Structure formats: C-alpha cells, structure tokens
Amino acid sequence: MENYVLITGASSGIGRATAIRLSQSYPLVLAGRDEKRLKETQAMCETADSHLLWRYNLADVEGIAASLASLLKENSAPVGGFVHSAGIAPLAPLRMTTTVQMQTIMNVNFFSAVEIVKLLTNKKINGKALTRVVLISSIQSRIGAKGQSVYCASKSALEGFMRAMAEELAPRVNINAIRPGAIQTPMGNLLFQNQDLLAKPSDDSYLLGLGEPEDIAAMTVFLMGENAKWITGQIFTVDGGRSAH
C-alpha cells in the first residue's frame, strides 16, 4: 500500500503512537482537533514533511465529508488505509447524561468513523485506493463499565459496523477492530483516577499490568500490512490478560 493512511485521534495516545510507527512505511493524514498537538505528532514521525494535517472536530459529523474530500482533492492524496483512534469517554451515570452529551459521544466514537469509511469508499473521491481499515474499540464493549454506558454502546456499535462492512467491502477492503484494555494514555489516566467506577490499575485483573499506546500501535501496524491480507471482520483483544478470567 503506497497511498496515505488516515489516522484520527493522532494528536495523542494510541493515535500518536500508531502514527509514529506507520510513518516508517506510509505517508499519513493526521487528524485531530488540536493543531499544535498534531504538529507535535508530525514532528515525531519519520519524513515529517510528507504527512498532511486535518484539523477537525469529529463531533461535527455533518461536515466531515466535505472537509475531508476537500483536503484529499487539494493535496492529490488517495487514502489506502484508515485507523479510527479518536474517542471520548466522559464519566457520568446515565441519569446525569444529557441527550446532547450522548450525541457527542456517539458522533466522535462511532458516526464519524461511519462517515469517513463512506467517503473513502466513494470511487469518485478516493477511487479504489482504500484497502485497510482498523477501528479502535475497547474491552468495555464486552464487559461494560459503570458511568460509561454510552461510551460502551458506541464501541459496541463500532464493532457491529465493522462486521457488516467486512461483508460489504470484501474482497477489496479488509476491515478489523482492536479491543484495548487499560492503556496509559491521557484519557486512560483520567479514568484510572476514579476508583469507584473502574478496577484499580494495581489489582490482578491485568495479568501483564497496564498497557502502553505502543502495544495497540503494534497490532494496528500488523493489521495494516500484507501479513494480515487474509484477515477481515475480526476483533482482536489486546488487554494484558484482563479478559482471560
């Protein structure tokens, strides 16, 4: 794959770690809300000048197609791979979660991925360039978590979408998902601080301890490469043994 790889959530955490690794092989489109942090990621990548920045708030789902299509056209940048790492996970019981907050979570975590896949599979815009998609889910789509009902629902929706699109896009596009466990990222560290809602990070539930963003980036790189050419419609759990018991 010699085309660009689009990475959402590239300004920090898993998205940044994935960008740094993938920059060794592909030109990238780095997507995020914060241009300063996107530029920091860009500077960490190999051949930094070959990568594009897409500063956009994915909560604005209705504007995604026009904004991204414009960027790709202006830069003659066909996208061969897409990694959806963007996500938000506010902590609040359902009774304190407003409809607006629910919609924002679903927009960023789920609907934005749908819009991007829809655009990248539009032959008039991206030709037949797209061949790989990796969606970053969460083990909480499987085990649930107090105070994160809508977040868990958004990740479950992402996985259901992945399975359907594997059928719809085969054999040209391989699409898979990764379920990370507890990862030491800025978002993850905020969650760890609330011991009433999450298991303590020091307990025995994580057999191999807490994960690093690079642990998820490594699996993503594998799924984007030729060694994964016969894999599609699958969910890979990378959780340090959290779900082994």
More confident residue, 204 or 84: 84
Q: Which of 2, 6, 1 is nearest to 119 (CA)?
A: 6
Look at residue 191 and tell me whether its pLDDT is greater than 70: no
More confident residue, 228 or 203: 228
**98-133 pLDDT tens trace:** 999 999 999 999 999 999 999 999 999 999 999 999
**How is the chain split into domains, by residue range?**
4-237
More confident residue, 227 or 202: 227
CB contact set of 50 (below 8 Å; sequence gap of 6+): 27, 28
**163-182 pLDDT tens trace:** 999 999 999 999 999 999 99
DSSP state of 108: I
Predicted model pTM: 0.93
- Cβ atoms of 154 and 140 closer than 8 Å: no
Question: What are the CA-CA distances from residue 238 to residues 6, 124, 196, 235 (Å)?
Answer: 22, 36, 24, 10
Quote the CA–CA distance of 215 and 222 in Å, as a whole number. Answer: 11
Specify the amino acid at residue 141. S
Q: Which of 76, 70, 79, 66 is nearest to 30 (CA)?
A: 79
Edge-to-edge strand list for the sheet holding 174-180:
52-55, 28-32, 4-8, 79-84, 132-136, 174-180, 235-238
Instruction: Record the tokens describing residue 169, joined without a space.
Output: 């896009």
Look at residue 85 and tell me whether its pLDDT is greater than 50: yes
**7-30 pLDDT tens trace:** 999 999 999 999 999 999 999 999
Class of the CATH domain delimited by 4-237: alpha beta
Q: Which of 3-12, 32-41, 64-73, 177-186 has the lowest mean pLDDT?
A: 177-186
Q: Which of 139, 125, 123 is nearest to 199 (CA)?
A: 139
